[in-house]
Amino acid sequence: MKTLQKCLFPLAMALAISAAPVSAQNYKAVDIKPIDPSYFIPKRHEGRTYVITGGARGIGAASAIRLAREGANVVILDVLAKEGAETIAQIRKEGGKAEFVKGDVRNNADVQKAVDLALAKFGELNGALNAAGVMSATAPDAPFDYQKQKSLFPSPIAEASDEYFDTLMDINATGVFKSMRAQLKPMLKQGKGGAIVNICSIAGLTGLAGNSAYVASKHACSGLTRNGAIDYAPYGIRINSVNMAATETAMTAMATEFVKAANKENAGSDVVNMGRTKTLSILAFADSKKRQATVWEQAAVICFLLSDEASNLTGGLYATDGGWTAY
Ligand SMILES: NC(=O)c1ccc[n+]([C@@H]2O[C@H](COP(=O)([O-])OP(=O)(O)OC[C@H]3O[C@@H](n4cnc5c(N)ncnc54)[C@H](O)[C@@H]3O)[C@@H](O)[C@H]2O)c1
CA 153 to ligand 1 center in whole angstroms = 15
pLDDT value at residue 317: 98
Nearest CA to ligand 1 atom 16: 58
| Residue 251, helix vs strand vs coil | helix
- pLDDT tens digits for 196-228? 999 999 999 999 999 999 999 999 999 999 999
**Cα–Cα distances in Å, from 37 out to 119, 296, 297, 298?**
29, 6, 8, 11
Q: Does residue 59 have its Cβ closer than 6 Å to ligand 1?
A: yes
| Residue 74, helix vs strand vs coil | strand
Q: Does residue 80 have its Cβ closer than 6 Å to ligand 1?
A: yes
pLDDT at 37 over 80: yes
- pLDDT tens digits for 150-190? 999 999 999 999 999 999 999 999 999 999 999 999 999 99
Cα–Cα distance measured from residue 213 to residue 164, given in angstroms and rounded to the nearest whole number: 7
What share of the chain has pLDDT > 90, as a percent? 88
**Cα–Cα distances in Å, from 132 out to 54, 98, 178?**
4, 17, 12
CA 170 to ligand 1 center in whole angstroms = 14
The structure's pTM equals 0.94
Least confident of 19-28, 55-64, 75-84: 19-28
Cβ 84 vs Cβ 64: under 8 Å = no
Nearest CA to ligand 1 atom 19: 251
Cβ 95 vs Cβ 71: under 8 Å = no
CA 133 to ligand 1 center in whole angstroms = 4
pLDDT at 8 over 70: no
Greatest Cα-to-Cα distance within the chain, rounded to the nearest angstrom: 74
- Among the listed residues 211, 217, 137, the one whose alpha carbon sits nearest the alpha carbon of residue 177: 217
Q: Torsions phi, psi of 157, nearest 5? A: -55, -50
- Among the listed residues 327, 216, 208, the one whose alpha carbon sits nearest the alpha carbon of residue 276: 208
Sheet holding 237-242, edge to edge: 97-102, 73-78, 49-53, 127-130, 194-199, 237-242, 317-318
- pLDDT tens digits for 50-78? 999 999 999 999 999 999 999 999 999 99
pLDDT value at residue 260: 93
Cβ 135 vs Cβ 154: under 8 Å = yes
CA 129 to ligand 1 center in whole angstroms = 12
Mean pLDDT (whole number) for 13-30: 68
pLDDT value at residue 2: 45
Nearest CA to ligand 1 atom 1: 247
Instruction: Look up residue 172 and give its DSSP letter.
Output: I
Q: Does residue 208 have its Cβ closer than 6 Å to ligand 1?
A: no
User: Active site includes 214?
Assistant: yes
CA 28 to ligand 1 center in whole angstroms = 37
Mean pLDDT (whole number) for 14-30: 69
Residue 312 identity: N
Cα–Cα distance measured from residue 128 to residue 114, given in angstroms and rounded to the nearest whole number: 11
pLDDT at 4 over 60: no
Q: Torsions phi, psi of 237, nearest 5? A: -105, 120
pLDDT at 293 over 50: yes
Q: Does residue 249 have its Cβ closer than 6 Å to ligand 1?
A: yes
Of residues 19 and 316, more confidently modeled:
316
Q: Which residues contact 182 (CB under 8 A, 6 or more apart)?
A: 108, 111, 112, 114, 115
From 224, 249, 325, mutation site for ligand 1 pocket: most ligand atoms within 8 A of C-beta: 249
Cα–Cα distance measured from residue 7 to residue 11, given in angstroms and rounded to the nearest whole number: 7
Catalytic one of 39, 50, 164, 214: 214
Instruction: Look up residue 293 and give its DSSP letter.
Output: B
At residue 270 the predicted structure's pLDDT band, cuts being 50, 70 and 90, is confident
Q: Which is the closest atom of ligand 1 to the Cα of 250?
A: 20
Mean pLDDT (whole number) for 103-118: 98
Cα–Cα distance measured from residue 64 to residue 87, given in angstroms and rounded to the nearest whole number: 8
Cα–Cα distance measured from residue 280 to residue 202, given in angstroms and rounded to the nearest whole number: 12
Cβ 101 vs Cβ 117: under 8 Å = yes
Q: Domain limits of the chain?
A: 41-319
pLDDT value at residue 65: 99
CATH 3.40.50.720 corresponds to the domain 41-319: yes
Q: What share of the chain is helix, strand, coil (3-state, %, to 5)?
A: 50, 10, 40
Q: Does residue 244 have its Cβ closer than 6 Å to ligand 1?
A: yes
